[in-house]
Amino acid sequence: MPLLQWTVAQVAIAIVACTSLAAGQPTGAAPGAGFHATVLSIGDGDTLRVSRQGLPITIRLACIDAPEMAQSPYGQQSRSDLQTRLAKGREVTIIPHTTDRYGRTVAEVISDININLVLVEDGQAFAYRQYLSGCEAKEYLDAEYRASRHRYGVWQVEGGITRPWDFRHGRRNAVIPDGTTPGGHRYRCKEIGSYERAQELLRQGHSYLDSNGDGEACESLR
């Protein structure tokens, strides 16, 4: 099978597994219990919203970790790449792995190709080593190695940019003047006025505005 390519038969098997699960029949491991969905919007380089039979679902891409939006310009580039690949209204197959602490469905997304894997291959995301169980780990690690060799995306910097998980950890541990926020002022989304301003404040260190940890502040303002 060519790299990244899913066959029609593989997707069909995933859909059959999902149908069996819905009917209460036993299935194998969670990856493979797939369902069809329609893309609604892209949050950042590893988060999107889809609709399944009219029900909106937030998807966190499994097996990978894309740069945070505050890791400019790489976060914006990763988001733009995902938007290009998954335009609004595009039909995709979702292969769920689990649900995270924010209630998001952690999944691989198939649209002719494995979107998660191709993002790593193109240097728009890292293989998320901490969460590769249940993934084809070798495929993701090999894709990352090729991206690093070609200096794609996040690998344009020698050794790659700061890993998103390290970046998030550093921001959580940052020393802030009043112990909570930069400059001693705590903002509320409803008083900020615009989505763009909210992202600017997030880049300045107001990480509490990103309540679900997906790299976007005040998503209600979009």
Distance of CA 121 to the CA centre of its chain: 15
Q: Residue 144 pLDDT more than 60?
A: yes
- Of residues 68, 139, 216, 219, which has the active-site annotation? 68
Phi-psi region of 111 (alpha: psi -120 to 50; beta: other; left: phi over 0): beta
Q: If we measure between CA atoms, which residue out of 113, 103, 91, 96 comes closest to residue 61?
A: 96
60 is catalytic: yes
- Domains of the chain, by residue range, sit at 8-156, 174-210
Residue from 104, 108, 139, 168 carrying the catalytic annotation: 104
Q: What's the burial of 132, exposed, middle or buried (CB within 10 Å: 0-12/13-18/19+)?
A: middle
- Lowest mean per-residue pLDDT among 36-40, 141-145, 152-156, 197-201: 197-201
Residue 68 annotated among the catalytic residues of the structure? yes
| 32 vs 74, higher pLDDT | 74
Residue 2 has pLDDT above 60, yes or no: no
Question: Of the listed 49, 60, 79, 168, which one is catalytic?
Answer: 60
Q: What rounded mean pLDDT belongs to the chain?
A: 82
Cα angle 40, 105, 20 (rounded to 5 degrees) comes to 100
Q: Which residues pair with residue 35 across a beta bridge?
A: 94
Task: Determine the average pLDDT of the residues in 38-49.
Answer: 96
Give the number of residues written for the chain.
Answer: 222
For residue 3, what pLDDT band results from cuts at 50, 70 and 90? very low
Query: Which tokens sit at 117?
Result: 């894997």
- Rounded Cα distance between 198 and 188, Å, is 9
Distances (CA, A) of 195 to 122, 201, 205: 28, 10, 16
pTM of the shown model: 0.69
**Quick one: tokens of 13?**
């098997």
Distances 85 to 20, 80, 96, 116, 178 between C-alpha atoms, Å = 30, 9, 19, 11, 42
Q: Rounded to whole angstroms, how far apart are CA atoms 60 and 85?
A: 16
Reported confidence tier of residue 18, pLDDT bands at 50, 70, 90: very low
CATH of 8-156, one of 3.30.365.10, 3.30.70.20, 3.20.190.10, 2.40.50.90: 2.40.50.90
